[in-house]
Structure 1
Amino acid sequence: MVCGTETSARADHAVTATLAGYALGDVAHHLTAEAARQARDTLLDTIGVALAARNSELVGILARTHPGGAGPGGSTIWTSGCRADAETAAMVNGATAHAMDYDDTNESMRGHLAATIWPVLLALGEQTGSSGQALAEAYVVGVRAAVAIADGMTIDDHYARGWHSTSTVGVVAATCAAARLLSLSLNQTRHALGLAGSMAGGSRQNFGTMTKPFHAGFAARNAVVAVKLAQAGFEANPSMLEGPLGYYALFDGRQRLDQVARSLRDAWTPSRHGVSLKNYAICYNLHRMCDAMANIKARTAVQPDDIVRIRVAVEPQGKAPLIHSQPTAALECKFSAEYVLGALAHGRMLGPADFGEGILESEALQALMRRIEVSEHPAPQVGKPDWYEGYAVVCVELRSGNVLSERVDNPKGHWGAPFSREEISRKFRDCVEFGCPGADVAVLEREIRDVLETDRFGGFSSLPPK
């Protein structure tokens, strides 16, 4: 009886084999109409936000250090049109897609999915001539794997300890997606996951620097490296993820390995597998308070000089990514509640154009930032006491003695308050026009939207020339 129980427990906890089996199995029932729509929308959004970053310093450095030049058989670097090996293309495109912090996010794994998954799939798909159907199925595998991997750990604790789950979870999830696309064997996929587990990393200490978006880039690159090495016969521990010295043991002290298989059996649902598209080019934990502040301004036309103090309440750990209360550089401002609320009060829209040099030079803005306080509370002080994923309550105290309050749980673009197709197109157009003035946005949008219907993906012919 005891032996049988131990054998069953080991089978339940065989995470590496479970993920490999799922990646290579029948996922057609998970490719629902909703999942397919999400695949199309995130593909468009990912390339749009990458092109918005084309003239950024980060992209310039990557272009100089990794210029491409692999010839006609390579994979396209979106911002330059140059071709490179799949590893380089995935890395540059992943970092570029995350450079503006304008890409989608998923609360279940506390990170960004598309900026890691799509650069991998498009880099490999372009070289192998994958069909649109194969790309869509691999995307679904990547999303579901990311959620399941996160379910196997206490993801909030993992994040609180300083790990950036976009890369720690993302590299393993993207490896599952890539293994699916390349039709690796079960054994090869286990070795690829073993490799990915050893290449996982990413510290939140680097939030507010170029290295934060590079986390998505090196996770994408490492996923390509893992599947290509495994396909060639390179070996890793086939039980790396669940092993006593493996991925979960290293990254989470309170692992829940039995949850991985259960998660993979769940139906696709927006609350678990859906993503939130960003309405502001900032950390997603700031979006609720930004929408609340924007609503207050729209309702009252409050002016910065009217404000005595702004108090913000968020859910427990809601402040975790907001590590720059006194930012000194533009990238740090994307992780500062004080900056974004002060900037909104002063009429800034927090799009890509609002994070150039000199954004902190206003003395009036600096003075208002010093009067902004953010605290965590288990329950909101405004409205119903329950909440899901997160909330923000913004209270603006005025010189008149009035207090203006607003609560937001689902900011614009959240899976529970999604963008319309027209709003997604508008964001894409704004991004491309910002990074690539004069580009034929309509033609490029049609080409990207049609990718998942193609019989053979061969790259994009409508990318704006550099």
Structure 2
Amino acid sequence: MTVIEHLAKWGSEAPFEHSRAARDVARHAVEDVIACIIAGSNDLGASNVRKMVYASDSAGPGTVVGEEKAVLPQLAALANGTAGHALDYDDTFLPGVNHASSVLVSALMALGEQAGSSGAELIDAYLVGLELQFAVGSGVMRSHYDFGWHSTSTIGCIGAAGACARLLKLDARRFAHALSLGTSMASGCKVQFGSMAKPLHAGLAAQHAIEAAQLAAAGVEGRLNALEGGMGFLELFGGKGPAGWGKNIEKLGAPMTAESRGLMFKRYPCCASTHRVLDAFFELRAQEKFEADEVESINTLIGYGNSRNLMYTNPVSEMEARFSMQYCMAVALVDGAPKLSHFTPQSVKQEKYRRLFGLTTVSCYDPAEEQKNVDLMRPHVITVKLKNGRSLERSRDLPVGTLKYPFSLDDRKAKFDDCCKSRLDKVSSDRLFEAINNIESEGHLSRFTGLLRFGAKANHAFRTSSFA
């Protein structure tokens, strides 16, 4: 039995019943992604993708969040997946080193509308898809990511193809071909970080996941050793010394990865590679009570892959600023926690931040040591040297928003409201929040997605500061 056949057999036969803990994570993911789509719909890149979608003859049943006109499911997934990842505020799936939910939710919501799926079926397919992302990722991480692949659009595409196959109730054979076709559609490199193409990767992965499942359902077949076979995914995408698949895929769903590992929901609208440092900084500052003008230097010690993500030491756009430790630390020093309003063209140009870029340096752990244990989450460390000679240090093993340090319900609602406020009034936002958290009781997704077709109510001027 090939790896794909093993995954397909599990994915097509896994029980529909899931633990409350796993389902809670899935509902939180839907809630978080929809909030990020609404906020991200104001972004110029996401707006340009919608422009392309509506320029084509694309009428269909798929909801593009915030728009009244429905389109073909794969195009709705493209638009929503791009918007969901546009602000880099969507969750991170640490085992897959990817943004799992923007891909999964965007694909499943669009396909589910067409298929007449229920809310409970969407949650089930999400959990199966997340498990498959973990399984596929376990064979190639971290070398795949450190080699330069954007796993949101590689691992994400393959796992989401499986999620779509689950939603369509494909048998094991057709399910396997959906995964195989997904490997042929997996792509996206990290050179695009800090550009419009980075969030587009999530949209393309969601689009291709639907297409892979639909093609398999129509009888299109691929090689079933596409993951581990010669000239397959492992050989071409694995990077240096990938582990491959073995016993780590023998106990899928026992328990579900959503329950045992969870997701990292983002506290700040910037690259996840900054979050542990930011959390540590705010803890240190609360304890030591220092101001920006008292700081002589800041050194951060982070993972090798994290350091490669933060490639902009002198960002000139809001997109680059999301991948800049220098900018994020400058905002933290001056204003406190980074917010959506800090990532606009106007904010990045402000001298009160730019003059502080030189204070922050980034160092990293030895990548060879990291690769030996892909599950090892080494702490991220910040050292703040003050002008009076004191040196202050703090570390974080995991960021706020993980299973170990979860958001409170108030934290979740505050983020949801902040993301929605440029497009929805408070009453509408509250109604949508409640509907998402009751999605499992919805018999047909189209009744839920009808709430998302609220039209051009708010401004679309993110590039001119819709979050200020």
Same topology, TM > 0.5:
yes
Give yes or no for the alignment of 1:314 onto 2:302.
yes
Q: 1:233 to 1:260 in 2, by over 3 A?
A: farther
Deviates more, 1:100-109 or 1:369-378: 369-378
Q: Deviations along 1:106-148, whole A, 9 cap, x unmatched?
A: 1111111110101111111111111222112111111110111
Of 428, 438, 454, the match for 1:440: 428
Of 284, 288, 303, the match for 2:291: 303
Point out where structure 1 has 5 or more consecutive residues left out of the alignment: 1-10, 380-386
Q: Shift of residue 51 of structure 1? A: 0.4
Of 72, 76, 92, the match for 1:85: 72
CA distance in 2, matches of 1:364, 1:16: 53
Q: Shift of residue 299 of structure 1? A: 3.0
Aligned to 1:429: 417
Q: 1:457 to 1:364 in 2, by over 3 A?
A: closer
Aligned to 1:6: none
Q: Shift of residue 439 of structure 1? A: 6.3
CA distance in 1, matches of 2:287, 2:253: 45
Verify the 8 A CA contact 1:27 1:137 in the aligned structure 2.
Answer: no
Verify the 8 A CA contact 1:148 1:259 in the aligned structure 2.
Answer: no
Q: Shift of residue 364 of structure 1? A: 4.1
Aligned to 2:44: 57
Q: Shift of residue 318 of structure 1? A: 3.4
Aligned to 2:24: 37
Give yes or no for the alignment of 1:172 onto 2:158.
yes
In structure 1, give the amino acid aligned to 2:117: S
Q: Shift of residue 349 of structure 1? A: 3.1
In structure 1, give the amino acid aligned to 2:342: D
In structure 1, give the amino acid aligned to 2:210: V
Aligned to 1:414: 402
Aligned to 1:114: 101
Q: 1:269 to 1:221 in 2, by over 3 A?
A: closer
**Percent of residue pairs identical:** 30
Aligned to 1:360: 348
Aligned to 2:217: 231
Give yes or no for the alignment of 1:47 onto 2:37.
no
Q: Shift of residue 440 of structure 1? A: 1.4
Q: Which SS does the other structure have where 1:373 is aligned?
A: strand
Aligned to 1:323: 311
Q: 1:286 to 1:454 in 2, by over 3 A?
A: same
Deviates more, 1:106-115 or 1:189-198: 189-198
Verify the 8 A CA contact 1:289 1:392 in the aligned structure 2.
Answer: yes
Aligned residues: 444
Point out where structure 2 has 5 or more consecutive residues left out of the alignment: 368-374, 457-468
Verify the 8 A CA contact 2:89 2:268 in the aligned structure 1.
Answer: yes
Structure 1 length normalisation: TM-score? 0.90
Structure 2 length normalisation: TM-score? 0.90
Where do 4+ consecutive residues of structure 1 move more than 4 Å? 68-71, 269-272
Aligned to 1:287: 275
Verify the 8 A CA contact 1:270 1:415 in the aligned structure 2.
Answer: no
CA distance in 2, matches of 1:163, 1:329: 23
CA RMSD of the aligned region, Å? 2.1
Verify the 8 A CA contact 1:297 1:345 in the aligned structure 2.
Answer: no
Verify the 8 A CA contact 2:316 2:349 in the aligned structure 1.
Answer: no
CA distance in 1, matches of 2:63, 2:38: 13
Aligned to 2:364: 376
Q: Deviations along 1:218-260, whole A, 9 cap, x unmatched?
A: 0000011111111112222233222212122211153422245
Q: Which SS does the other structure have where 1:238 is aligned?
A: coil
Aligned to 2:11: 23
Q: Which SS does the other structure have where 2:296 is aligned?
A: strand
Q: Which SS does the other structure have where 2:298 is aligned?
A: strand
CA distance in 1, matches of 2:219, 2:244: 31
